[in-house]
Structure 1
Amino acid sequence: MKKKFVAGVSVVVLAASMFGFAHVFAGGNGQDSGGETQKEMKNAPKIETVEKVMEKEIEKSTKPALLELVDGIEEETTTKMVYGDTYEREVEVTFNDEGEKIAKVEGAPSVNIDEYKKKYKESIKNVKEKLSKFFAEQSESFSELADYSKWKQTSYDEGFNYYLKVQEFYESWNDASINITGESESLQNDFRNIGHMKAIINHNQFSRTSHLGRQGQAKEDVERSDQWKETPEEMRQAYEYMKQIVHDLDVAFNHDGEGETYGVTYTLNGDKASKVESLFNGK
Structure 2
Amino acid sequence: MIKDYFKANITTPPKHLVLDPFYQKYIDAQGIPITSSSDVPDIALLVARDIVIHMLSERPDLRKEMIRNGTRFGVMADTDSTTDLPEQRDWKKPRKDDLRLTNDERDNYDKKIGKLTDQEYWNRRARGMGGLYTTGTEENILGYPDLSDNGKKKGRPRTKYFGENIFIHELAHSVHRAIRGADPKLAREIELAYEDAMKNGLWAGSYGTTNVFEYWGEGTQFWFNSNYDYKNSDSYVLSSADLMRYDPQLYKLLMEVYPLDHHIPMDVFYLHEARVRAGK
TM-score (norm 1): 0.25
Instruction: Indicate the structure (1 or 2) with the bigger Cα radius of gyration.
Output: 1
Q: Which has the higher helix share?
A: 1
Normalization by structure 2: what TM-score? Answer: 0.25
Q: Whose relative contact order is higher, 1 or 2, with alpha carbons under 8 Å and at least 6 apart?
A: 1
